[in-house]
Structure formats: C-alpha cells, structure tokens
Amino acid sequence: MKKLITLLLFLVLALPAVAFAEKPVLMMSTTTSTDNTGLLDVLKPAFEAETGIELRWTAVGTGKALAMGQNCDVDVLLVHAPGAEKKFVADGYGVDRTQLMYNDFVIIGPAADPAKVKGMSVSDALKKIGQSGNIFCSRGDNSGTHKKELSLWKESGMAVPEKEAWYVQTGQGMLPTINVANEKNAYTMTDRGTFIKYEASHNGNPPIVILVEGDGALFNQYSAMAVNPKNCPNAKYDLAKKYIDWMASDATQKLIGDFKLMGKQLFTPNAGK
C-alpha cells in the first residue's frame, strides 16, 4: 500500500518536470480543415527545424479560434473567415493579418442529385434545393464554413432557412457533417480539402459527389494573424510574427502547393498576391 502511494506521488511530482519544454513554444488556434487534412503535420517539422520554435495548435471552429485569440489564450491564428477576421483586427484584437492560401468551397450531394442542381451557379442551386425541400445539412457551429454558407444564402436572395424542416444544423465539424449528409441523402457545402479527404477515406468512390463548383462566390481564403500585443501583453508576438513570415515565404508557399492527397492539390498558396 505504502509503496503504491509513494509511486503515485512520484508520478505526480515528476509530471511537471516532464511538461516543461526547452524550446520556445508558439501556441496557435486554427480551424479543423488545416488540421484534419494533415497539412499542419507536414508544415510543423519544417518550421521547427528552421526556427527552433515549437508549434502547438488547437483545432477548433473559426468562431472559437477567434474567441481564444480575443482571450489571449493563443499567440497566432490561422483561420478562414475574412469578414470576421477584418472585424477582429478592427476591434484591436489582431494584427499583421496576412493572406496565405486558398481553396474553394463546393456544394456536394447524393450522386442521384434529387433536386437537379448539378452545374448550376451557387445562388440558383441553393434556391432550387430550397424549393425542392430536399434536406440540406449546415454546420451550424459558427465556423468559417458556416459563416460562408450563411452569406451564400443571403447572396442568393433567400432568408437563411433557419427553421425550415429540410434545413438540418449538425453543430459538428465538416467531416461529421458530410457523414450526416450521406446518411440523410442530403446536400451540404464543404471546403474542397475536407471533401478530398472524405473521398480518400472512401477509396475515391464516395456516395456523395461534387455538384456545384468553380463559382467565384465559393472562394475560401485562409489567413494568419498575430494576436495584438497591446491587448495581450503576454502573447509571444515576436514568435507569431516569425511564423506568419515563414508561412508567407517562398519555400513554405511551395510546400503548401505541393501538399497532395490522392494526387490532388488541397490548397493553393497566394501570399503577397
């Protein structure tokens, strides 16, 4: 009994010693799409090798990522909701917003396409889905993708179908939402990167396919920002700045462009453009 207690106490006391890291640590909040696709896992070792800074991130919806920046819990953000980001900077919470890369959103649905929206513009497709009464799955979680979807409903001239029976808000991440759409034979909107990942998990032959793509309204811009050192004096602004500059550098931009899943490029670098 005593031995066991001594052992446990030892474990407890030893833990903080293990937890101390020697390298400087940069804390980032980011969106699920950069993490789920595996892009960050590819970039992290390169960043650490070049700068000696350890990058740690927590992958959450853009809404929560911004809230963490506002509360000074992270040093840098990598998100994709330009409207909310500009407001974040204007409100004095963020600085050095730098655009880094983009991919695009696509509207996906059952291969049989019950509402017949294939090849339409986004506005027409959304209206048609609304009229057909076929189920449409929304993230409903205040993420960058959700914000984008809400703006598309408005642009198509429809009110956001918040209370319609065919409008299902999952409140979950992108892949779970695609899975819900699959189960319910429904439409949804996703970023292309996550969809390619979904395709890969179905060996390239998914039950849900891309129906609307290439519309300019579906552009999805990712940017990095440092939290404002005036708002958060303890934030590691210098490390954050280094990270942003590194992400925008030519070598890293090439790494991003070369990142492929199933032979498909997921993100297109566009820093400084």
Binding residues for other proteins (CB under 8 A) = 1, 4, 8-9, 11-12, 15-16, 18-19, 27, 32, 36, 41, 56-59, 71-73, 172-173, 175-176, 178-179, 197-198, 201, 232, 234-235
Nearer to other proteins, 158 or 200 (CB): 200
Smallest distance from other proteins to CB 52, Å: 17
Smallest distance from other proteins to CB 231, Å: 9
Smallest distance from other proteins to CB 156, Å: 29
Smallest distance from other proteins to CB 44, Å: 9
User: Who contacts 154 (Cβ-Cβ below 8 Å, separation ≥6)?
Assistant: 160
Nearer to other proteins, 144 or 269 (CB): 144
Nearer to other proteins, 59 or 189 (CB): 59
Nearer to other proteins, 85 or 141 (CB): 141
Nearer to other proteins, 154 or 264 (CB): 264
Nearer to other proteins, 5 or 90 (CB): 5
Smallest distance from other proteins to CB 112, Å: 22
Smallest distance from other proteins to CB 165, Å: 26
